[in-house]
């Protein structure tokens, strides 16, 4: 008797179809062109400046980060200047953002970058991930925002958008769901306009597809969103935690 062949589901079986991906990108980029936030770290491709902004934005609102971001870069304009500063001064400069493990890790990244790479941040994912304090989200942010590489991001805001537009069932907080969301984010990233696309995903989650009061009527994706109109009492929670100062974290992930 010929044994039956067991077909395992493809890794792409739970991903949006190509036509849906194209529509998602087109609608999101069009919305971002009209409504995207003008933030100072979006006007630079300096990897260090982007690293600073990403670590400051972990569990901290944008309006609190803005003044400190400018103050920090005036005092420590480069990885080399930060590496040479005493740690106590670095922590004092960080005040009052809190979570003081973050400035210590940023300081350690600066010192390591000087020792290993002459005060520069590398552009490849594997080397970036070797830094303690740089997790998957931050790797994607640095690669896509500083080096304009095709790299995915996944933070709380991005996860919320993807879970609502393309729900897949299962426990939204499980490791399996997080892996699926990473695959989905990677599949959705376009080959061009990566910077704008990833920024748009984060802005949509922060400004429209929010956790408590989503503005579904204003969402550019509402006609393709499987959760529209959203019933918050039945809506699933985000699949990944808010960005925290750990080695693994979007969006917005990264530590």
Q: What is the pLDDT of residues 110-163, one digit of tens each?
A: 999 999 999 999 999 999 999 999 999 999 999 999 999 999 999 999 999 999
Is 54 among the residues known to form the active site?
A: yes
pLDDT at 96 over 60: yes
Question: 4 burial class (0-12, 13-18, 19+ CB within 10 angstroms)?
Answer: exposed
Mean pLDDT, rounded, of the chain: 89
Q: Which two tokens stand for residue 75?
A: 């005092």
114: number of Cβ within 10 Å: 17
DSSP string, 74-93: HH--SHHHHHHS-HHHHHHH
Q: How far apart are CA 87 and CA 85, in angstroms?
A: 6
Percent of the chain past pLDDT 90, that is, above it, reads: 81
Distance from C-alpha of 225 to C-alpha of 160, rounded to nearest angstrom: 12
Give the angle subtended at the CA of 254 by the CAs of 168 and 49, to the nearest 5°. Answer: 130
Average pLDDT (236-240) is 51
8 Å CB contact between 204 and 31: yes
**Catalytic residue (choose from 54, 112, 120, 233):** 54
CA distances from 135 to 150, 170, 250 (A): 17, 25, 10
Structure confidence by residue, pLDDT tens digits, 24-60: 999 999 999 999 999 999 999 999 999 999 999 998 9
Kindly list the structural domains of the chain, giving each domain's residue range(s) and its CATH number in brackets, ordered by start. 40-146 (1.10.340.30)
Q: Does residue 246 have a pLDDT over 50?
A: no
Cα–Cα distance for residue pair 120/76, rounded to 1 Å: 14
Among 7-16, 55-64, 234-243, the range of highest mean pLDDT: 55-64
């Amino acid at each position: 008797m010929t044994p039956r062949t067991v077909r395992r589901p493809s890794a792409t079986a739970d991903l949006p179809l190509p036509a849906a991906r194209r529509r998602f990108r087109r609608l999101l980029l069009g919305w971002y062109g009209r409504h995207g936030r003008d933030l100072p770290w979006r006007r630079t491709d300096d990897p260090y400046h982007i690293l600073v902004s990403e670590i400051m934005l972990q569990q901290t609102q944008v309006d609190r980060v803005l003044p400190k971001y400018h103050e920090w870069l005036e005092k420590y304009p480069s990885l080399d200047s930060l590496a040479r500063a005493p740690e106590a001064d670095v922590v004092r400069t960080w005040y009052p953002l809190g979570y003081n493990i973050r400035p210590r890790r940023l300081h350690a990244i600066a010192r390591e970058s000087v020792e290993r790479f002459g005060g520069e941040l590398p552009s490849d994912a594997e080397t970036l991930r070797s830094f303690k304090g740089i997790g998957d989200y931050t790797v994607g942010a640095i690669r896509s925002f500083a080096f304009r590489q095709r790299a995915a991001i996944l933070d709380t805001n991005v996860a919320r958008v993807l879970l609502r537009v393309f729900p897949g069932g299962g426990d939204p907080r499980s490791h399996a769901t997080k892996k699926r969301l990473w695959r989905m984010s990677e599949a959705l990233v376009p080959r061009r306009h990566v910077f704008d696309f990833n920024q748009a995903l984060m802005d949509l989650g922060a400004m429209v597809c929010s956790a408590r009061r989503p503005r579904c009527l204003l969402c550019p994706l509402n006609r393709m969103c499987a959760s529209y109109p959203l019933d918050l009492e039945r809506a699933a929670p985000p699949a990944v935690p808010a960005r925290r100062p750990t080695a693994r974290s979007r969006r917005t992930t990264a530590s």
